[in-house]
């Protein structure tokens, strides 16, 4: 008897019936009636699977598809698989997987239901292609486009921004990511296949950006964004490893910090005493609040009698939504801030002026309850407020500093006066005290000197 049974799923290595007969007779020593039964079984199964079709005079001839997939005898009584087709039957929803004769690569063909187009996925082994195909089918079930082997960096980053970054980060952060991708990355390596991006490509990208005038800090931020994007590609099984791991990223460097001295702060606040934004400047210098936190402040957040306020939201301009109220930057940024007497007095004067303005405007007043607002009660645009601040600085005869530098000024003055870094960290809403110490590390020698002086005062010189 023939030492095995033929099943339809074993026909992936189909050979011509003449080779089967010859092998059964010469190699296995089968009897003529056994050979006839075996061939009849094979031909019946292959007719059902389209391997043979009717020939002339009622005969059966091999189909073109079967000839392309035909295997060969290896000379030891075993059938080898055809060069163009995998052995065995593919699984449910596995797609079409076959081995290409031209280069020997395995290929999977799958239809993108969103576009109706067939896309190919390639690999060295059938298992590799099957895994990639599984990812593509899973993405398709989630409504995502099918990823092809030739997916470019630009195509992938567009998908990453929409499917991963947008749902997981704040709108302003997303806008920053999108700008970095659009302006810095896509024009240089956007056409490169995602699977072919190397650490050398990225090292060259950062070098090109810096030669074009980009600061090392901005180049480092670009690296961080790409690392996050490519790490997601690894999790999605699109690439085996993160090419950013092999890069020596640009050192971020430390941004210049403009800090006003105690005398300069006094001169600035005196010069702006009658300015509509005087209370805003007083709060910025005495509390270290961020610009967006100040502009998002409502009177319901402020207790003038209790001498404190609560930071519960921030105002920011977004590309899509315009001016929008958002959650504070971090969980620690939601905080209670104790007010100085000077700040309380400035806020009382500011509220009295606002009441007068509201009566003057009448029905046109927008009752949003904002502490700092436009002449009709609406939110202040941060960019307009920044321009007003710079003009006030110039009129006070002071150098050019950013509004955010008032926050640095508050922290620097407090630390220089010996206030504990933990207190300053909580007041600023930093995520950790380590961030505070790192940001103001230039003051650490001053703190050490103060500690030594305190010890002398305690024990005597």
> Distance between CA atoms of 369 and 380, rounded to whole angstroms?
13
**Token pair of 12 as six digits:** 């992936």
Count the helices and strands in the chain (H runs, E runs).
19, 10
* Confidence (pLDDT) at 36: 65
Q: Is 265 helix (H, G, I), strand (E, B) or coil?
A: helix
Kindly list the distances between the CA atom of residue 236 and the CA atoms of 104, 133, 345, in Å, as whole numbers in the listed order: 26, 12, 57
- Strand partners of residue 123: 106
Q: Between 117 and 424, where is the model more confident? A: 424
* Confidence (pLDDT) at 90: 47
Straight-line distance from the first to the last Cα atom of the chain, in angstroms, rounded to the nearest whole number: 108
pLDDT band at residue 104, thresholds of 50, 70 and 90? Answer: confident
Least confident of 173-177, 397-401, 404-408: 397-401
Span 244-276, pLDDT tens digits: 999 999 888 766 677 888 899 999 999 999 999
Overall average pLDDT of the 393-415 stretch:
88
* Confidence (pLDDT) at 85: 40
The pTM (predicted TM-score) of the whole model is 0.59
Q: What is the mean pLDDT of the chain?
A: 80
- Tell me if 260 sits within 8 A of 401, measured CB to CB: yes
Overall average pLDDT of the 411-428 stretch:
87
Q: Is the pLDDT of residue 2 over 60?
A: no
């Amino acid at each position: 008897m023939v030492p095995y049974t033929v099943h339809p799923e074993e026909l992936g290595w189909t050979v011509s019936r003449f080779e089967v007969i010859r092998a059964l007779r010469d190699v296995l020593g089968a009897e003529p009636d056994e050979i006839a039964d075996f061939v009849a079984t094979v031909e019946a199964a292959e007719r059902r699977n389209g391997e043979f079709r009717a020939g002339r005079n009622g005969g059966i001839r091999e189909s073109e598809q079967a000839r392309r997939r035909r295997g060969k005898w290896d000379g030891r009584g075993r059938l080898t698989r055809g060069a163009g087709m995998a052995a065995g039957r593919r699984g449910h929803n596995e797609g079409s997987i076959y081995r290409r004769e031209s280069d020997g690569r395995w290929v999977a063909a799958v239809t993108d239901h969103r576009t109706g187009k067939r896309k190919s996925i390639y690999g060295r082994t059938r298992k590799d292609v099957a895994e990639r195909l599984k990812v593509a089918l899973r993405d398709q079930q989630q409504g995502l486009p099918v990823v092809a082997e030739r997916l470019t960096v630009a195509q992938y980053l567009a998908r990453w921004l929409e499917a991963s970054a947008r749902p997981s980060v704040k709108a302003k952060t997303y806008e920053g990511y999108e700008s970095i991708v659009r302006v810095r990355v896509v024009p240089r390596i956007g056409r490169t296949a995602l699977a072919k991006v190397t650490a050398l490509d990225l090292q060259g990208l950062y070098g090109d950006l810096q030669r074009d005038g980009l600061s090392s800090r901005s180049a480092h931020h670009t690296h961080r964004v790409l690392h996050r994007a490519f790490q997601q590609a690894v999790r999605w099984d699109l690439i085996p490893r993160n090419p950013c791991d092999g890069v020596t990223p640009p050192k971020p460097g430390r941004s210049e910090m403009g800090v006003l001295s105690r005398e300069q702060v006094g001169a600035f606040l005196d010069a702006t005493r009658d300015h509509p934004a005087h209370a805003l400047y007083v709060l910025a210098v005495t509390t270290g609040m961020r610009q967006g936190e100040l502009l998002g402040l409502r009177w319901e957040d402020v207790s003038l009698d209790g001498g404190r306020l609560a930071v519960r939201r921030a105002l920011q301009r977004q590309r899509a939504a315009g001016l929008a109220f958002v959650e504070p930057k971090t969980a620690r940024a939601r905080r209670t801030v104790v007010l100085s007497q000077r700040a309380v007095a400035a806020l009382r004067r500011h509220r009295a002026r606002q009441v007068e303005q509201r009566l003057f405007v009448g029905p046109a007043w927008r009752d949003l309850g904002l502490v700092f607002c436009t002449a009709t009660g609406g939110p202040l645009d941060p960019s307009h407020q920044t321009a007003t601040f710079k003009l006030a600085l110039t009129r006070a005869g002071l150098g050019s500093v950013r509004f955010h530098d008032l926050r640095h000024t508050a922290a620097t003055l407090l630390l220089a006066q010996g206030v504990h870094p933990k207190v300053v960290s909580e007041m600023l809403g930093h995520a950790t005290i380590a961030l505070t110490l790192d940001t103001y590390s230039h003051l650490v020698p001053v703190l050490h000197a103060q500690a030594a002086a305190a010890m002398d005062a305690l024990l005597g010189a």
